[in-house]
Every structure is written in C-alpha cells, then in structure tokens.
Amino acid sequence: MFNIKKKIAVSAITMGLVIGTMGCGAAPSTAQKNDGDKETIEFWTISLQPTFNDYFEKLIADFEGANPNVTINWKDYPKDTIQDKLLTSIASDNAPDVVNLNADMTLTLGDKSALANAEEFISDETKNSFFDGIYGATKVEDKALALPWYTTIPIIYINESLLKDAGIPTENYPTTAAEYYDWAIDVKKKTNLYGMAMEANIREILGSAGVPVFNEDYTELLINKPEAVEVIKEFQKLYADSANPKENLDQETRAQLYNSKQVVSVYSGTTFVNKFKTTAPDVYQNTTVIPVPFEHSVTTTMYLGVPDKSKHKEMAFKFAEFVSNPDNQLEFSKTANTIPSTKKTIEDPYFKESDGSLESQIKIAAASGLEKSKEIPVPQHILEKVNRDLQDILFNDKDVQEGLDKIVEEVNKQLKD
C-alpha cells in the first residue's frame, strides 16, 4: 500500500524540480505591466485609505486626464507592513514606481542604492519649491533621494484645567527651551504631575535643541560634543525630578498619560489631537496648544521616492512632482489637517484662519513653527540602537560623556561598514 521508498524518491525529485525552477534567479515578469502604449504607475501610500479615498481619486483622475496614456494604480498599506511589502516586491522585481517613505527609511534605502536620484528628473522650480530644511535632509552626496510631501510639525499640548487647579497661570507660556524646562519642573512641584512629555530620542531632545546630530552625508554621528552633553545632562535632571516620565513615549503612551491626566503638557505632532478628541472629551475641552519653544521644530515628513528598479522612472517622477506640487499639497492639508512642505502653500490664508476650534489653533501654531522647521532623519539602520542607548543614559542615570562617546564610537563604526 505504502511504497515509501518510491514516494520519497518522487518527492525528492519534485522538490529538486521546484527548487531548480526557482533557483534561476528572479526573472522579470513584466508581461502584465505594459498594456500597449499605456504606462501603469504603481503608487503606494501609508495608512491613507479609506479615509482620503475621495481626495486621491480626484487627484489621480486629474493626472490621468492630463496624461492620457498613463494609468495610476494606487495602493495603500499600513505603516507597520509597508516596509516588508516593499522589500518583497523589490525582491520579486515588482517594485512600485512611486512610494511613500519617511526620512529614516529613505536614507536606509538610499544607503543600499535602491532609490533613483530625483535631481536627474525634476525641474529646478520643483526643487526650489520645498522648504530647504526638509528637501535637503534626504539629499546625500548631491543625490536627492526623495521629494518631500506632507509633513507634521510638533507643538506643545497643554491641559489648562490641571494648571488652574494648582493655581498656575494659563498665560505667558514659555518661549525658550530653558524657560520650558524650568516651567516643567515648577509644574511638577505644584501639581505633583509630570510637567512635560518628550521622548528620550535624539530627534526630540537633541534635534529640537539645535545640536547637530550628523555630518552632512550621514556618515558620522556627532552627539558627543559639549553642547550635546549639556542638553542630555539637562534632561537627566528633568527625569530625575520626575518632570518628564521615564517611559517609552510612543504616541499611544503619550495619549495614555495625557488622557489619564498624569502629564500636564505633551510634545507631539498635529495629529495627536485624534488620540484624545473622542476618547477623552474632557481633556479635549481643556486643551490649548503653543508652538514648540525650541531652536528647531523637528518635522516628521512623508517623502515620495522612486525605486531604482522602477521601469517608468520618468513618468514616476512626473507623478511625484504632481502629487507634491503646492496646489495639491494645499488641498491635502485642508483635507487631512497636515502641514505642507512647499513654501508657497503655507502663504495661503487658510493657515491663518481660525474658527476657534482646537484644530484651528493647532493649525496656526504648527504653521508658525514652519520657519524654524528642520527634518532630522536618522538612518533607520542605526535609529533603534541610538535611541535605546540614549534611553539607558537618561533613565538609569549613567555618565553622560562616557555614554555618548560609546554610542558615537559604536555607531560610527557601523556607519562606515
């Protein structure tokens, strides 16, 4: 009944065949991509469906109307999976043509030469339309790895009712970093709540303070210089005084602390309001916002990159330029409450209009921070390590100079590899 030997032999041969057919490398399978003269551009975004379907359907229809031989194929993936999806698609030679990336990912992909150089394809007019601090951040060795798209600017959310309860004035909020730190310590003393919530990462702590983090080409980390040491020591004190919570402050944790009224002010982006508007209506009513009192507003920008393996680079960049042009960015800002990365867009009166809601306060505070905006990307391949080690120094009161020296040494070694 069971002729095992024979069956094993057969299965071994079949296995060999399967492996054999797969072993011959990734042969391009482009047959379905070209449909006569029509070019299909595959466009990937991060977590925008289904909320903004209407906006994108119109955007795509406009572009297709102007370029009749092009079809845009829009796909959307959640933040946590887009990277794996991108990796597998590049591996199987089905790379998308335009892909939504954050700055960290852009640098890491650029490091592996996986992105096309935008400078070769886009006009000078486009190049100059973006804020320099944002466009320049992903430019490495004169190669522009991606075009900036929508961005988020940090602001400070303050729960005023907690201040009132402790008799702290709800006006004349801090306008410099030093004032803000003192204020946070004072608030902690009077309310016995955390005065502020900033995460122990180089972007928020060192980037905001205006301390240079990297050299221009991201080949060297610079955070062991005296000015960096000073800022870190300042923060060690804030942690030691419990003015800032010793937590891994992702957006969810910030929301937990803010909603549970354990923290009086929170440093976060413009979309943070969604985390408490419906879940903590009481907090929403008592919240006010101020621009960040720091040297820089450290933006978190979404970029549009074109994989080097794309077969339609020219058209892909044309579409990326279209999506990120000032008019379309303005429209998107109005739809999604985001901040644009183009200089012209921000001059629109929309960014100064207020209807008295918290959302318009946020919009105005954020727009006012654009002048000092700066994108501070940390190549994804060293991001986690740097932040982990920085946390250790801050949370567990390690020696600052020694700790930073160690980070710099280890990371620079890794960057040179």
Question: Interaction with another protein in 31-90: which residues (CB under 8 A)?
Answer: 46-52, 75-81, 83-85, 87-88, 90
Please state the closest distance from residue 245 (CB atom) to another protein, in A. Answer: 6
- Could you tell me how many residues make up the chain? 417
- Window 309-348: residues binding another protein (CB under 8 A): 336
Which range, of 157-165, 176-184, 214-222, 268-276, touches another protein by CB under 8 A?
A: 268-276
Q: Which two tokens stand for residue 308?
A: 């080097």
Nearer to another protein, 111 or 234 (CB): 111
Please state the closest distance from residue 123 (CB atom) to another protein, in A. Answer: 28
Strand partners, 74: 43
Please state the closest distance from residue 51 (CB atom) to another protein, in A. Answer: 5
Nearer to another protein, 8 or 66 (CB): 8
| Residue 280 phi, psi dihedral angles, 5° rounding | -135, 75
Nearer to another protein, 304 or 390 (CB): 390
172 sits near another protein (criterion: CB under 8 A): no
Nearer to another protein, 71 or 271 (CB): 271
Q: Which of 15, 61, 66, 178 binds another protein (CB under 8 A)?
A: 15
Which range, of 56-64, 135-143, 230-238, 375-383, touches another protein by CB under 8 A?
A: 375-383
Q: Which two tokens stand for residue 57?
A: 């359907």
Please state the closest distance from residue 377 (CB atom) to another protein, in A. Answer: 14
109 sits near another protein (criterion: CB under 8 A): yes
Which range, of 9-17, 116-124, 136-144, 167-175, touches another protein by CB under 8 A?
A: 9-17
Nearer to another protein, 275 or 296 (CB): 275
274 sits near another protein (criterion: CB under 8 A): yes
Count of CB atoms situated within 10 Å of the CB of 70: 17
- Window 145-164: residues binding another protein (CB under 8 A): none
Q: How far apart are CA 313 and CA 317, in angstroms?
A: 6
Q: Which of 156, 161, 203 is nearest to 183 (CA)?
A: 156
- CA of 40: how far to CAs of 33, 87, 259, 352, in Å? 7, 20, 46, 39
Nearer to another protein, 91 or 178 (CB): 91
Site string for another protein, 213-252 (x = CB under 8 A): --------------------------------xxxx--xx
253 sits near another protein (criterion: CB under 8 A): yes
Q: How far apart are the first and last CA of the chain?
A: 59
Q: Which of 241, 348, 389, 405 binds another protein (CB under 8 A)?
A: 389
- CA of 225: how far to CAs of 64, 118, 198, 388, 404, in Å? 52, 34, 22, 19, 9
Nearer to another protein, 61 or 91 (CB): 91
DSSP structure class, residue 242? T
Q: Which two tokens stand for residue 43?
A: 């466009």
Distance of CA 55 to the CA centre of its chain: 21
Please state the closest distance from residue 126 (CB atom) to another protein, in A. Answer: 26
Q: Which of 273, 151, 261, 103 is nearest to 197 (CA)?
A: 261
Note every long-range contact of 369-373, with CB atoms under 8 Å and residues 24 or more positions apart, other chains counting: 369/153, 369/154, 369/155, 369/291, 369/292, 369/297, 370/131, 370/153, 370/297, 370/339, 370/346, 372/295, 372/296, 372/297, 373/131, 373/133, 373/134, 373/151, 373/153, 373/296, 373/297, 373/298, 373/299
